[in-house]
């Protein structure tokens, strides 16, 4: 049961980090083009990246704390 919970946290963390990185890149694209991307300005993209990155931290930490150690021979 703990193993599936660890996998769930790991995938949520990876998804949030990926979305944060995508939002950051879209913020740069919006800034360099001087246009809105999907009707959002660069500041909105950067705030989205910040919030998603902050939300990803607890799931990453909870997945790391549950690491199963290898049995030693």
- Mean pLDDT computed over 29-33: 92
- Please give the Cα distance from 73 to 63 (Å, whole number): 26
In the chain, DSSP finds a helix count (H) and a strand count (E) of: 2, 0
- And the tokens for 63? 């997945």
Between 10 and 41, residue with greater pLDDT: 41
Domain count, the chain: 1
The reported pLDDT for the residue numbered 43 is 92
Q: Which of 17-21, 31-35, 58-62 has the lowest average pLDDT?
A: 58-62
CB 4, CB 68: distance < 8 Å: no
Task: Give a yes or no: residue 22 inside a domain.
Answer: yes
CB 44, CB 55: distance < 8 Å: no
- pLDDT above 70 covers what percent of the chain? 73
Structure confidence by residue, pLDDT tens digits, 13-26: 888 999 999 999 99
Q: Name, in order, each residue with C-beta under 8 angstroms of 12's C-beta and a sequence gap of 6 or more.
A: 59
Task: Give a yes or no: residue 70 inside a domain.
Answer: no
Task: Give a yes or no: residue 73 inside a domain.
Answer: no
């Amino acid at each position: 049961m703990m193993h599936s919970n660890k996998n769930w946290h790991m995938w949520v963390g990876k998804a949030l980090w990926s979305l944060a990185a995508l939002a950051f890149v879209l913020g740069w694209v919006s800034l360099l083009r001087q246009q809105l991307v999907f009707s959002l300005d660069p500041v909105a993209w950067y705030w989205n990246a910040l919030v998603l990155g902050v939300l990803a931290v607890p799931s990453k930490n909870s997945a790391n704390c549950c690491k199963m150690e290898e049995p030693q021979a």
